[in-house]
């Protein structure tokens, strides 16, 4: 039994056909059939039963294939260790939804004429913690209310993560269309903002955020999971979003405007998460320095 055997059965199961699997594996059908027969003889049971509809896993074969896939996934994770530890000098970053961070990464790569295979993901605050716990990404950047900053930093410490504050007390802004009835004002109040439907990122459903924002009794709220969706809603309606300053870039391009909320009573901190043992590589350090200068 070898790793090729695991790849063979996984591909046969995916295709439902030895012939199609052989084509995808760049081998002949006869060679793949022989390899499968040798594996089944070694195991002492059949992995597939041949039917008029193709190759279907037997009960034993189904369990074997699940284990084979798990082994292949672990091998892939082993091969990815240089990227997960930073020795490949790549950037591996998960963050909250932020056009500012993505634009900074694009500018960074263009300036350095980089061909490195960097990875980037936008997701919710809680999922960013999970990305670090599960070693899916080496770094995560979250933004949270200043009053909750110590809570999240302590949560990171309790799970052997470093939580490094990149910026404190960034103001909250009301984001809206330039055609919005409030858009001609220099600043707005919280009550004015809450007089219109809100469109917010899904992680704002967190009870702590809802309480901090005083939204317990509001029912005109649309929660979305992506930046593009929020842009579409803001452009097409009188909805308002509440975000930290600079979350979106090129506001003019999208016919949007952000206004200070003078009585919001809360600001945002931006925090970098990583495992305690992990040391940033040179490119990650340079990128974080550039980002801090823009926050």
d(CA 119, CA 290): 17
72 & 106 share domain: no
CATH number at residue 15: 1.10.10.10
The 10s digit of each residue's pLDDT in 193-230 is 999 999 999 888 888 888 888 888 787 899 998 899 99
Q: Which of 50, 79, 108 is the last residue of a domain?
A: 79
267-275/139-145 β-pairing: antiparallel
Q: What is the pLDDT of residue 88?
A: 66
Using the 3D structure, point to which of 30, 56, 79 is the last residue of a domain: 79
120 plus 230 within the same structural domain: yes
Name 2's Cβ contacts closer than 8 Å, sequence gap at least 6.
none
Residue 135 belongs to some domain of the structure: yes
Spatial CA neighbour of 65 closest among 136, 16, 135:
16
Written as six digits, the tokens of 265 are: 């009573």
CATH number of the domain to which 156 belongs: 3.40.190.290
> Is 53 found in the same domain as 187?
no
pLDDT on residue 82 = 63
pLDDT of residue 48: 93
Whether 252 is in a domain gets the answer yes
Q: Residue 12 pLDDT > 90, yes or no? A: yes
**Average of per-residue pLDDT values in the chain:** 91
Mean pLDDT, residues 32-41? 92
Total domains, the chain: 2
Is-contact 165 276, C-beta < 8 A?
no
Distance between CA 88 and CA 74 in Å, rounded? 19
- The secondary structure element, H or E, covering residue 292 is helix 282-294
Same domain, 68 and 173: no
- Going 18 to 20 to 24 to 28, the CA torsion angle's sign is positive
DSSP characters for 145-211?
EGGGHHHHHHHHHHTTEEEEEEEEEEEEEEEEETTSTTTTSS-B-HHHHTTS-EEEEGGGGSHHHHH
**Do 183 and 279 sit in the same domain of this protein?**
yes
- The reply to whether 67 and 176 lie within a common domain is no
Q: Which of 54, 79, 104 is the last residue of a domain?
A: 79
Question: Quick one: 234 and 104 in the same domain?
Answer: yes
Q: Does any domain span residue 86?
A: no
Task: Give per-residue pLDDT as tens, 63-113.
Answer: 999 999 999 888 887 876 665 555 568 899 999 999 999 999 999 998 876
Residue 84 lies in a domain: no
Whether 105 and 244 share a structural domain:
yes
**Across residues 39-60, what is the average pLDDT?**
91
Give the range among 9-18, 83-92, 115-124, 190-199 with minimum mean pLDDT: 83-92
pLDDT grade for 146, boundaries at 50, 70 and 90: very high
Residue 181 lies in a domain: yes
Contact 122, 95 (CB under 8 A): yes
Distance, CA of 109 to CA of 116 (rounded, Å): 8
Q: Is there a single domain that holds both residue 169 and residue 288?
A: yes
> 100 is in which domain, residue-wise?
92-294
Distance in angstroms (rounded) separating the CA atoms of residues 129 and 123: 10
Q: How far apart are the first and last CA of the chain?
A: 54
Q: Which of 16-20, 27-31, 200-204, 209-213 has the lowest mean pLDDT?
A: 209-213
pLDDT at residue 85, as a whole number: 57
Does residue 270 lie in a domain region?
yes
Query: According to DSSP H, which parts of 1-159 are helical?
Result: 3-15, 18-24, 29-43, 59-79, 81-85, 99-111, 125-133, 149-158
Average pLDDT (115-120) is 84
Residue 111 is predicted with a pLDDT of: 86
Does residue 87 fall inside a structural domain?
no
Tokens of 116: 């490195």
Same domain, 243 and 179: yes
Q: What is the mean pLDDT of residues 5-17?
A: 92
Is-above-0.85 flag for pTM? no
Same domain, 169 and 229: yes
- Claim to verify: residue 206 and residue 251 sit in the same structural domain: yes
pLDDT at residue 131, as a whole number: 92
Q: Is 85 part of a structural domain of the chain?
A: no
Check residue 134 and give its pLDDT.
Answer: 85
């Amino acid at each position: 039994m070898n790793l090729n055997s695991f790849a063979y059965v996984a591909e046969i199961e995916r295709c439902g056909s030895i012939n199609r699997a052989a084509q995808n594996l760049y081998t002949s059908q006869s060679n793949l059939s022989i390899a499968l027969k040798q594996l089944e003889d070694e195991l002492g049971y059949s992995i597939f039963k041949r039917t008029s509809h193709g190759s279907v896993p037997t009960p034993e074969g189904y369990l074997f294939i699940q284990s084979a896939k798990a082994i292949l996934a672990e091998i892939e994770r082993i091969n990815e260790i240089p990227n997960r530890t930073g020795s490949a000098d790549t950037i591996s970053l998960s963050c909250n939804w932020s056009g500012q961070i993505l634009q900074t990464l694009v500018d960074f790569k263009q300036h350095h004429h980089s061909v490195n295979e960097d990875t980037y993901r936008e997701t919710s605050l809680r999922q960013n913690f999970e990305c670090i716990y599960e070693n899916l990404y080496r770094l995560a950047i979250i933004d949270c209310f200043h009053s909750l900053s110590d809570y999240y930093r302590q949560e990171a410490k309790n799970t052997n993560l470093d939580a490094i504050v990149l910026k404190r007390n960034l103001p909250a802004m009301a984001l809206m269309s330039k055609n919005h009835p409030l858009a001609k004002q220099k600043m707005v109040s919280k009550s004015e903002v809450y007089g219109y439907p809100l469109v917010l990122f899904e992680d704002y459903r967190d009870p702590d955020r809802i309480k901090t924002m005083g939204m317990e009794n509001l029912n005109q709220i649309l929660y979305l999971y992506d930046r593009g969706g929020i842009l579409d809603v803001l452009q097409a309606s009188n909805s308002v979003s509440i975000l930290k300053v600079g979350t979106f870039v090129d506001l003019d391009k999208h016919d949007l405007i952000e206004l200070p909320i003078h009585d919001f009573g809360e600001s945002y901190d931006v925090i970098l998460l990583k495992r305690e043992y992990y040391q940033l590589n040179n490119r990650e350090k340079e990128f974080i320095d550039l980002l801090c200068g823009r926050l």
